[in-house]
A = this chain, B = another copy of it.
Amino acid sequence: MLRQLEAALKAAGDPTRSRILKLLEDDGLCVCQVQAVLHLAPSTVSKHLAILKAAGLVDDRREGRWIRYALAGGEHNPYARGILGLIRRALKRDPKIRDDRRRLKEVLGMPLAEVCALGPAGKAATTASKGPERASRPGRPRG
């Protein structure tokens, strides 16, 4: 019990991970989308998501060749709902979170394949650069 609470609070207590949780509020995202918003190495994002998953704050689900991460319903950790609720209510006006949200909008406007090709620093551009081509899959992985 103490262990579960500790895991959940520690998971949410890292600034990168609370940013991720905020990104996931509206919709599930795959690793490369998170990566494109946060400008971090894929291994780093993957690790953070694994920590969030281990803490029961996030669920993952394979979807084609992507894996979609989404906020958990609280089945695996009794404290998840409380903490996620707290995070949801928090940081609404935080400048960094607002920036993330803006970048997320741009990312959601691009085809997934293109997002994944961006690399950790978002090299291609802030807005979509390759323009016309649409991925064979829908823009984002949805059930």
Contacts and interface: CB of A to CB of B under 8 A. Distances in A.
Interface of A: 1-3, 5-6, 9-10, 12-15, 18-19, 78-79, 82-83, 86-87, 89-91, 93-94, 96-97
Given A3-B15, A9-B10, A12-B13, 4 more contacts: A1-B91, A78-B90, A79-B86, A79-B90
B13 A96 contact: no
Contact of A5 (B3, B5, B79, B91): B91
Main secondary structure of the interface of A (DSSP, over half): helix
B6 A13 contact: yes
Contact of A6 (B18, B86, B93): B18
Max chain B Cβ within 10 angstroms of own Cβ: one of A9, A15, A87, A96: A9
A91 B14 contact: no
Contacts of A90: 1, 5, 78-79, 82
15 contacts: A1-B90, A1-B91, A1-B94, A1-B97, A2-B18, A2-B96, A3-B15, A5-B18, A5-B90, A6-B14, A6-B15, A9-B10, A10-B13, A79-B90, A82-B89
